[in-house]
Structure 1
Amino acid sequence: MITELRPAAERSWQLLADRAGTEPDPRKRANLEIVARHVREEVRGDVPALMETLVPQPVYEVWGASDSVGPKGYDEVKAFYEASIAIGKNRLEFEISNVLVEHDTVATEGIFRHAYTGELLTSRGFAAEDEVEPAAWYLVEYRALIVWPIDVGGLIEGERMYVGESPRILRRLEPGECDHLGPPNRG
């Protein structure tokens, strides 16, 4: 489901857009712009537009606190994003604190924020059953660094995500609070 971008989500990656707007080198500016477009389309849930930012056979790697391996190839990456959209994980904040850009790489560091149910938190081992209510929604965050390799044609070759910690539960969300996070129909 494609959704509109909410200002709170867009503000979280403003540093990336600002950096693109001030980059004098055309190749570096294009790299920043393709990463910004990728993030925007992911949060909107527009899988075809998102996949257009990637090379035909992208490779994703996840390192650190996550036990995820990462999808490889067009079909796996597309399925990864479709699964993310199904649970609302794509509707996120990525509060970027650092951006580095070279002619073949962009790196972004910051805090990811999501809305997860208590059930998801316990099923993935992020919380004990007595810490959360299964049907309640919780604001979670974790620090991560993403390295975005860019091919000579200007498309993203995948993501190398370095996750420094498991999602931390910040608080239970009240109905309507942070409604830009999680599924669009979250209560």
Structure 2
Amino acid sequence: MIVELSPAAERSWRLLAERAAAEADPRRRANLEVVARHVREEVRGDVPALMETLVAQPHYEVWGASGSAGPKGADEVRAFYEAAIEIGKNRLEFEISRIVVDQDTVVTEGVFRHAYTGELLARRGFATAVDVDLDAWYLVEYQALIVWPIDANGLIEGEQMYAGERPRIVSKLAPGESDHLGPPGRD
């Protein structure tokens, strides 16, 4: 489901947009713009538009606390994003605090925020059923760094994500609170 962007979500990657607007070098500006477009389309849930920001056979790696290797190739990457959309993980905040850019790479560092159910937190080992209400929604966050390699045609070759920590619970969400996170229409 493609959704309109929440102002709260858009503010979270404001630094990326500001950096692109201020970049004088055309190649570095284009690199920043393709990453910004990728993030925007991910949060909107527009998989075809998101895939247009990527090379034909992207390669993802996830390092650190999550233990996942990441999807490889267009079919796996598409399925990865479709699964994220199914549970609302794509509707996120990525509060970027640092950006490094050169002719071939963009690096973004910041805090990811999601809305997860207590059941999901318990099933994935981020909490126990004793610690959370399985039917409630929780605001979770984690520090991460993403390396975005860019090919000669200006497309993203994949993502190399370094998760600095496991998702940690910030708070239990009240109905309507942070409704731009998680699946559309969540309780």
What TM-score results when the alignment is normalised by the length of structure 1?
1.00
Deviation of 1:2 (Å): 0.2
Matches within 5 A, 1:45-60: 45-60=45-60
- Which position in structure 2 is the counterpart of 1:13? 13
Kindly, what percent of the aligned residue pairs are identical?
Answer: 75
- Give, in whole Å, the separation in 2 of the partners of 1:71 and 1:185: 28
- Which position in structure 2 is the counterpart of 1:150? 150
| TM-superposition CA deviations, 1:120-168 (whole Å, max 9, x none) | 0000000011000111000000000000000000000000000010001
Q: Give the letter aligned to residue 156 of structure 2.
A: I
Q: Give the letter aligned to residue 80 of structure 1.
A: F
Q: Does 1:103 align with 2:103?
A: yes
- Give, in whole Å, the separation in 1 of the partners of 2:76 and 2:63: 18
SS of match in other structure, 1:177 = coil
Paired residues, number: 187
- Give, in whole Å, the separation in 2 of the partners of 1:88 and 1:135: 15
- Which position in structure 1 is the counterpart of 2:25? 25
Matches within 5 A, 1:15-164: 15-164=15-164
- Give, in whole Å, the separation in 1 of the partners of 2:141 and 2:85: 18
SS of match in other structure, 2:81 = helix
- Give, in whole Å, the separation in 2 of the partners of 1:28 and 1:67: 31
Q: Give the letter aligned to residue 9 of structure 2.
A: A
- Give, in whole Å, the separation in 1 of the partners of 2:175 and 2:79: 30
Unaligned regions of 5+ residues in structure 2, if any?
A: none
Q: Give the letter aligned to residue 180 of structure 2.
A: H
Unaligned regions of 5+ residues in structure 1, if any?
A: none
| TM-superposition CA deviations, 1:104-134 (whole Å, max 9, x none) | 0000000000000000000000001100011
- Give, in whole Å, the separation in 2 of the partners of 1:74 and 1:137: 31
SS of match in other structure, 2:169 = strand
Could you list the structure 1 runs, at least 4 aligned residues long, displaced by more than 2 angstroms after superposition.
Answer: none
- Give, in whole Å, the separation in 1 of the partners of 2:68 and 2:131: 24
Q: Give the letter aligned to residue 92 of structure 1.
A: L
Q: Give the letter aligned to residue 72 of structure 1.
A: K
- Give, in whole Å, the separation in 1 of the partners of 2:133 and 2:159: 33
- Give, in whole Å, the separation in 2 of the partners of 1:138 and 1:66: 18
Deviation of 1:185 (Å): 1.7
